[in-house]
């Protein structure tokens, strides 16, 4: 597969300096920008999927009339967290 280029990006010198200041040993600015781009793409995909699931759940609740209280949901999540912690320590 051929590689492609991202358009050059003009930034304020302070932003470039800030980016360079957090580079890991041996890391290039180009590698940092690529990593940041990949992370932002994944973040936006995940956020979009989350919103889609939330809207679908809202519509399902409207259709079925079944709603769950925040306390019920938090209790369920707490149970899942405790189970995950327990399985991790086995």
Has residue 2 been placed in a domain?
no
pLDDT at 90: 73
Residue 82's pLDDT band, with cuts at 50, 70 and 90, is: very high
Has residue 1 been placed in a domain?
no
Beta strands in the chain (DSSP E): none
Has residue 73 been placed in a domain?
yes
Q: What is the pLDDT of residues 27-76, one digit of tens each?
A: 999 999 999 999 999 999 999 999 999 999 999 999 999 999 999 999 99
What is the Cα–Cα distance from 56 to 44, expressed in whole angstroms? Answer: 18
DSSP-derived 3-state class of residue 65: coil
Has residue 72 been placed in a domain?
yes
Global pTM reads: 0.72
Has residue 8 been placed in a domain?
no
Residue with tokens 């973040």: 43
pLDDT at 89: 81
Q: How many domains in the chain?
A: 1
């Amino acid at each position: 597969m051929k590689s492609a280029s991202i358009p050059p990006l003009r930034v304020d010198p302070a932003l470039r300096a800030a980016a360079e200041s957090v580079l890991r040993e041996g890391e290039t600015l180009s590698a940092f920008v690529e990593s940041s781009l990949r992370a932002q793409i994944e973040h936006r995909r995940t956020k979009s999927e989350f919103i889609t699931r939330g809207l679908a759940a809202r519509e399902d609740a409207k259709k079925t009339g079944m709603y769950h209280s925040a306390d019920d949901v938090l209790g369920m999540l707490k149970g899942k967290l405790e189970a995950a912690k327990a399985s991790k320590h086995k």
